[in-house]
Amino acid sequence: MAEGLRFEGVSVRLGGREIAALDAAVAPGEALTVMGPSGSGKSTLLAAAAGSLAPEFELRGRVRLDGRDVTGLPTERRRIGILFQDEMLFPHLSVGGNLGFGLPASVKRAARRARIEAALESVGLGGMAGRDPATLSGGQRARVALMRALLAAPRALLLDEPFGKLDAPLRARTRELVFGLARERGLPVLLVTHDPADAEAAGGRVVELGA
Amino acid sequence: MLGPVAAGLAGAVGPAFGWAPELGAAGVSLEAWRTLFGWPGLARAAGLSLSVGVLATGVSLAITLLICAGWQGTRVWRWVERGLSPILAMPHAAAAFGLAFLIAPSGWAVRAASPWLTGWETPPDVLVVQDPLGLALVAGLVAKEVPFLLLMTLAASAQAEAGRTLLVARALGQGRVSGWLKAVLPRLWPQIRLPVYAVLAYSMSVVDVAAILGPNAPPTLAVRIVGWMNDPDLSWRAVAAAGALLQLGLVVGALAAWRIGEDLVGRLGRRWAEGGSRWPAAAEGAARGAGLPAAAVTAAAAGFGLAGLAVWSFAGLWTFPDALPDGWTLRSWARHGPGMAGPALATLGIALAATLVALGLAAACLETEFRRGRRPGAGALWLLYVPLIVPQVAFLPGLQRLALAAGLEGGWASIAAAHLVFVLPYVFLSLSDPWRAWDRRWATAGAALGASGWGVLWRVRAPMMLAPLLTAFAVGFAVSVGQYLPTLLIGGGRVPTLTTEAVALASGGDRRAIGVWALAQAGAAAAPFLLAALGPRLIWRNRRALVG
């Protein structure tokens, strides 16, 4: 049942004061962009969707993913993919090992290798499974992080300023790739950014938060 | 740091092979080794050293990792931190005495359950403390080392972006505990490796805790070596030197084996992480559930231990199985108080000297590093850890011999110098993170206003860093107060401190005396932490940003 990502009267409070609020629905394959200066609470909203709010925050309202109420679920049971500005590739694992991290263990040996290799190939990184992530360029790392998230078969994608570190031409190409794959797979996307060009590329609704 | 350790080790090699001119022996012989290997208890003593060290390190590490993996960043975490961090300030000997009072057959644990549950009207006749397997010793070490490893893991977590790494792992479907073990731990390990080695080496060769909680027929190798060192018959010194080298070999061997084990676990762990398997929720829950009681027991053991020391020190008549004494009295304090002034003064004087010098040296190193803009490599960190990893009992006898030869044995100054070897690493470790985290722009702002490099240091940095400076001071002070072996050996047994006096009571059974002395030792170690906590609040009461 693909209903997308819904924020129903979500309000995050700290010590009784409201930090951020959102009431919106993101349909499969669509994107919602939350914009605002730093300190406006946009990362807090992302954390609310990811289930990673620090304990001192209080969350009201519900977050639903494909009809499922995920508000009380831990991050690992929500089935969401997250991309950060720093790719957060695990430095102790190879590129292939990073991709395997989220790929369910039910996918066995040869099939596993094939899935990982195919994922790399699809973003122009064929044959790089054995590489140390530290030896990749910024654009390559971003693509590995994307495929790692997708291999875990998420039902939604959360993007936390994911293109901020890339230079302009690379940024445009990476944006296209991320949003293209999300559309292709019917994933609702929540994008948090302060770059208007990101919002434009995402192509969906834009919510502005005040400081 | 290398100097005193190398000199001390070199000083043990000579006598071990029969070369000790000051004893009138100037040949080369294997006599000492023959005597050592002729001692019937040797195999057991060496085995104990090994089993106690590996067990204490393994259990401490497992508890630490379970707590961090299961609870870091949660609401409960603050309680874990609050419960465990005060134990850091407790000297090993005081903690060991406290634990002994708690778990002994006539201790609080049994009293609490007697006679209503156990039916015991007299203490059960079982050997709990000083059990032949050294399990009480392991427990005492674990209670002290868990807070230490936890602190080191916390410090490493900040640099390794533990929070976000864990979030990524969980977004990829991993549970909290398994995700932490797969993604966060491998990034932390390089930074907690040395502290773990220090715990292993310490647990294998500790003397004071082993004398209090460890078995005595035979004792651990380290305790036996100190016995030989203090034998009035000086010819035993050669056997002690040979034993010290054997102890060193044991520790080096155990560290090498541990290192190989690390690689093996690392390889298996990588395969586990890449395989994408997930723990069922029940396994996650069980792992989280196991960490918390382990932390609670650790904190409770130390807390009730300390309370036990206090109660005994004020106890009047206290018969088994009453949970509390029949009456309270100041008699024990009145009896031991007057004799305590000298040792207390020595303890404080030595600690003050060693800590102030260490603070000066550490600050000088860090400031040089700051001005030159260069950070020392991993090699420098190893150097810092050398005195914490090479067993004290292996290099102090040699150092004592050198001090004796140079006519320096037995003075406060030489004891303080020996303490410095152990105080400096802790002071440096405690001060380096805040020192390096200080924003360089403050210095630029100060310099732009006309302050010289020294001016910036004194007028800008030092006041801003009052809180971390006081904390580093407190850490160093507590380390010095807790030193037993350096005080005993370099002081030639002629400079009593709170620690040497307290440990000396271990073989007797006077619980009131032990309560008084161990409590005084714990108080001396804790006092500067109080200063570090309150000082900035008083001095900077109108400066919200500096209270820290």
Around Cβ B143, how many Cβ atoms within 10 Å? 28
User: What type of residue sits at position B539?
Assistant: I
Distance CA A143, CA A149 (A): 10
Would you give the DSSP letter of residue B178?
H
- The predicted model gives B72-77 an average pLDDT of 82
pLDDT one-digit tens code per residue, B225-271: 888 888 788 778 888 888 888 999 999 999 999 999 999 999 999 99
pLDDT one-digit tens code per residue, B168-191: 899 888 888 998 999 999 989 988
Helix (H) and strand (E) counts in chain A: 6, 9
Q: Which whole-number Å values give the CA distances from B293 to B72, B196, B280, B289, in the listed order?
A: 15, 22, 21, 7
Closest residue by Cα to residue A147 from A200, A94, A193, A83 = A83
Output the pLDDT for position A1.
53
Would you give the DSSP letter of residue A209?
P
User: What type of residue sits at position B538?
Assistant: L
Closest residue by Cα to residue B206 from B49, B12, B358, B348 = B49
To test the contact with chain A by mutation, choose from B78, B165, B172, B177 the residue with the greatest count of A C-beta atoms within 10 A, namely B172
CA triple B29-B34-B36, angle to 5 deg = 120
Tokens linked to B319: 């018969």
Output the pLDDT for position B163.
85
Among all chains, which residue has been given the structure tokens 């004796």?
B404
DSSP B344-405: HHHHHHHHHHHHHHHHHHHHHHHHHHHHHT----HHHHHHHHHHHHS-HHHHHHHHHHHHHH
**Choice among A143-157, B8-22, B124-138, B386-400 with the minimum mean pLDDT:** B8-22
Strand-by-strand arrangement of the A68-69 sheet? A17-26, A5-14, A57-65, A68-69
- The predicted model gives B31-49 an average pLDDT of 84
A53 CA: distance to closest CA in chain B (Å): 10
Contacts of A93 in chain B (CB under 8 A): 270, 273-274
Q: Per-residue pLDDT for B339 more than 60?
A: yes
Mark out the alpha helices in B214-317 (DSSP H runs): 221-229, 236-274, 281-313
Q: Which residues does B29 contact at the CB level (< 8 Å), separation at least 6?
A: B17, B18
Note whether ipTM > 0.95 here.
no
Query: What mean pLDDT, rounded, does chain B reach?
Result: 85
**Choice among A84-88, B86-90, B542-546 with the minimum mean pLDDT:** B542-546
Would you give the DSSP letter of residue A130?
T
- Across the strands, what pairs with A98? none
Note whether A73 contacts B: Cβ–Cβ < 8 A. Answer: no
pLDDT one-digit tens code per residue, A24-70: 999 999 999 999 887 788 888 998 998 888 888 899 999 999 999 99
- The predicted model gives A72-86 an average pLDDT of 87
Q: Per-residue pLDDT for B199 more than 80?
A: yes
Contacts of B273 in chain A (CB under 8 A): 90, 93, 97, 100-101
Note whether A36 contacts B: Cβ–Cβ < 8 A. Answer: no
Output the pLDDT for position A128.
93
Distance CA B415, CA B350 (A): 7
Contact across the interface for A54 and B73, Cβ inside 8 Å = yes
Domain boundaries, chain B: 53-218+281-329, 334-548
Would you give the DSSP letter of residue A107?
S
Contact across the interface for A75 and B276, Cβ inside 8 Å = no
Q: Per-residue pLDDT for B2 more than 80?
A: no
Distance of CA A155 to the CA centre of its chain: 10
Closest residue by Cα to residue B244 from B358, B455, B397, B387 = B397
Report the DSSP pairing between strands A57-65 and A68-69. Answer: antiparallel
Among all chains, which residue has been given the structure tokens 């419960």?
B83
Q: Per-residue pLDDT for B330 more than 80?
A: yes
B334-548 has the same fold as B53-218+281-329: yes
pLDDT one-digit tens code per residue, A84-121: 888 888 888 899 999 988 888 888 889 999 999 999 99
Q: How far apart are the first and last CA of chain A?
A: 37
B168 CA: distance to closest CA in chain A (Å): 7
Q: Per-residue pLDDT for B476 more than 80?
A: yes
Tokens linked to B243: 């034993």
A77 CA: distance to closest CA in chain B (Å): 6
Contacts of B179 in chain A (CB under 8 A): 76
Q: Which of B9-18, B29-38, B250-259 has the highest mean pLDDT?
A: B250-259
Residues of B419-444 as b/e, b for ≥16 C-beta within 10 angstroms? bbbbbbbbbbbbbbebbeebeeeebe
pLDDT one-digit tens code per residue, B498-543: 999 999 888 777 888 898 999 999 999 989 988 888 888 887 777 7
Contacts of B173 in chain A (CB under 8 A): 76, 79, 102, 104, 152
Distance CA A159, CA A46 (A): 8
Helix (H, G, I), strand (E, B) or coil at A54: coil
**What angle do helix axes B135-159 and B281-313 make, rounded to 10 degrees?**
120
Among candidates B176, B186, B277 on the partner chain, residue whose Cβ is nearest the Cβ of A92: B186
Q: What is the largest CA-CA distance in chain A?
A: 53
Contacts of B266 in chain A (CB under 8 A): 92
Query: Contact B147/B155 with Cβ under 8 angstroms?
Result: no
Specify the CATH number for B53-218+281-329; select among 1.10.3720, 1.10.3210, 1.10.10, 3.40.50. Answer: 1.10.3720
Output the pLDDT for position B293.
87
- The predicted model gives A128-156 an average pLDDT of 92
Would you give the DSSP letter of residue B460?
I
The dihedral over CA atoms of B383, B388, B394, B397, expressed in degrees to the nearest 10, equals 90
Q: Which whole-number Å values give the CA distances from B285 to B9, B198, B279, B300, in the listed order?
A: 49, 31, 10, 23
Q: Per-residue pLDDT for B544 more than 80?
A: no
SS3 assignment for B533-546? HHHHHHHCCCCHHH
Q: Per-residue pLDDT for B92 more than 70?
A: yes
Strand ranges in A27-90 using DSSP code E only, listed in sequence order: 31-35, 57-65, 68-69, 80-84
Q: How many CB pairs under 8 A join A and B?
A: 92
pLDDT band of residue B1 (cuts 50, 70, 90) is low
Contact across the interface for B275 and A105, Cβ inside 8 Å = yes
Contact across the interface for A88 and B161, Cβ inside 8 Å = yes
Distance CA B195, CA A11 (A): 43
The CATH superfamily of B334-548 is: MetI-like (1.10.3720.10)
Burial of A159 (0-12, 13-18, 19+ CB in 10 A): buried
Q: Per-residue pLDDT for B460 more than 90?
A: no
Contact across the interface for B278 and A75, Cβ inside 8 Å = no
Distance CA B57, CA B485 (A): 21
User: What type of residue sits at position B454?
Assistant: W
Output the pLDDT for position B478.
92
Question: Which comes out higher in pLDDT, residue B111 or B142?
Answer: B142
User: What type of residue sits at position B156?
Assistant: A
Contacts of B186 in chain A (CB under 8 A): 90-92
- Length of chain A in terms of residues written: 211
Q: Per-residue pLDDT for B18 more than 70?
A: no
**Choice among A136-145, A171-180, B153-162, B469-478 with the minimum mean pLDDT:** B153-162
Contacts of A112 in chain B (CB under 8 A): 276
Q: How far apart are the first and last CA of chain B?
A: 31
